[in-house]
Amino acid sequence: MNIRRLCVSFGFALAMSGLAVTAYAQQKEVKIGVIYDYTGPLAAGGSLPGAMGTKAAIDMINERGGVEGYKINAIYADAQSKPDIAINEMTRLIEQENVDLILGVFSSGQCVPMAQMADAKKKVMWATICVASSVVKNKNLTHFFRVQVHSDQYGETSCKFLNEMSKAKLGKDPKDLKVAIIYEDGPYGAGIGGSNETNCKALGMQVVLKEGYSATAPDLSSLITKLRRAGADVILHTGYNPDITLFWRQAREQGLKWSALIGHGAGYAQYDKLHSAFGKDANLIFNVDPAAAQLLDPKTLKPGLGDITKEMIKRYTAQVKDKKVDEVPPHVSMGFNHTYVFLTDVLPRAIKKYGGVSTDALRKAALDTDIPVGGTIQGYGVKFFPPGTPMSGQNERSSMVVMQYIDNNTKIVYPTAIKTADPIMPLPKGYTYAPQ
């Protein structure tokens, strides 16, 4: 009798297990291939914080039950700071994992060929952090979308900032201001360096040096010698983490001085790394980038976005010890914000309006995106330039700010309308790199 009951119970358990397996198998999902540099030099340059932001957004949406009955099945891949591995991982995710979407990446050097692959394979790619204008400019891409800013905006913003501050802060008319432009020579740095030159010259400034270098160069002393001879008041620098550290160390050794140094994202957005390498000299560095969400006044944004930012910060800081909120890198906001836009705006529309998560549905839904300024946690809106235009696939509503690290906090110093502090320039006497 007991054996019979046991068999009946066991049979019932098997039946219930089968029902559970069937229900699980029937659950709809959207498969997203997420590619970032989790290892290698680019991880510390901003890729890892960006990846953590993306994962936080995906986790939040899944915890809410997914999107219109679809669970987000994220498959994470490490590009290892190498373009060839990024391409191999993208190929694997598309051909073997059969993902519905590719999402990422940090490096523009990876982003350029990946965007071309997305179009060739007719698979939608949703770019989160890479910024080089060359990714999209005159490429007529049809399956690539980028909410992020593009590199031309970096160069334009830093030059406009100098134009407005030159007389008031440095006591020089813009036509008398000497500017040096240095950059890592990949698509990211070269794009920003070129934009720096075009925009600063258009505003009448003297570009006394413009030179690129390899981000893996073991020695930058010859570049620093050229900078000393050029006698620039302001240095505009675009680089990653290792090359920035090398530049600053050798600049100190060779006695290079400047009134102000303006960085452009990437390594200059990682204040904890800068402070670890330079100590007090990291204070008063400028950085041009999209605004980190926690630096904006929530009252200027769509209601409810302030709470989303708080949740993002909570999830990030839970993973990283000894971080102050003001020191959360902008890349966290980029990874989170741009993923969140896809999951809460594009994906629901693809499912409800276009019938699912096919490439065609995702592409049409992305082209329909029309988020006004103030509608994302980073302040800007989202609307993509359409196919057939010079910047097709690029967000036409993205925008930049200039930040400065002041007393170990990050402050917005430009545009003036949303600044949280006045810019401090030139460097005060007593700073290692301040002119005597």
What residue type is 123 in one-letter code? K
Phi and psi at 73, nearest 5°, equal -100, 95
Superfamily of domain covering 152-289+400-418: Response regulator (3.40.50.2300)
Residue 325, pLDDT above cutoff 60: no
Helices (H), ranges, 33-178:
41-42, 48-63, 83-95, 108-120, 151-165
Residue 62, pLDDT above cutoff 60: yes
Q: What is the pLDDT of residue 213?
A: 97
Q: What is the pLDDT of residue 269?
A: 86
CATH architecture assigned to 28-149+312-367: 3-Layer(aba) Sandwich (3.40)
What separation in angstroms does the CA of 240 have from each of 143, 176, 215, 428? Answer: 28, 30, 7, 26
Q: How far apart are the C-alpha atoms of 159 and 179, rounded to whole Å?
A: 10
Tell me the pLDDT band of 400, cut-offs 50, 70 and 90. Answer: very high
- Cβ count within 10 A of residue 253: 10
What separation in angstroms does the CA of 301 have from each of 57, 213, 337? Answer: 19, 40, 13
Residue 395, pLDDT above cutoff 70: yes
> pLDDT by residue (tens digit) across 248-297?
999 999 999 999 999 998 889 888 889 888 999 999 999 999 988 998 98
Residue 1, pLDDT above cutoff 80: no
For the chain, the structural domain boundaries read: 28-149+312-367, 152-289+400-418
- Kindly state the average pLDDT of the residues 290-313: 93
Global pTM value: 0.81
Q: What is the pLDDT of residue 24?
A: 43
Q: What is the pLDDT of residue 170?
A: 96
> What pairs with residue 126 in β-bridges?
103, 145
Tell me the pLDDT band of 356, cut-offs 50, 70 and 90. Answer: very high
- Kindly state the average pLDDT of the residues 367-381: 96
Phi and psi at 398, nearest 5°, equal -70, 155
Q: What is the pLDDT of residue 323?
A: 55
Phi and psi at 206, nearest 5°, equal -90, 110
Residue 19, pLDDT above cutoff 50: no
> pLDDT by residue (tens digit) across 335-347?
999 999 999 999 9
Per CATH, 28-149+312-367 and 152-289+400-418 having the same topology is answered yes
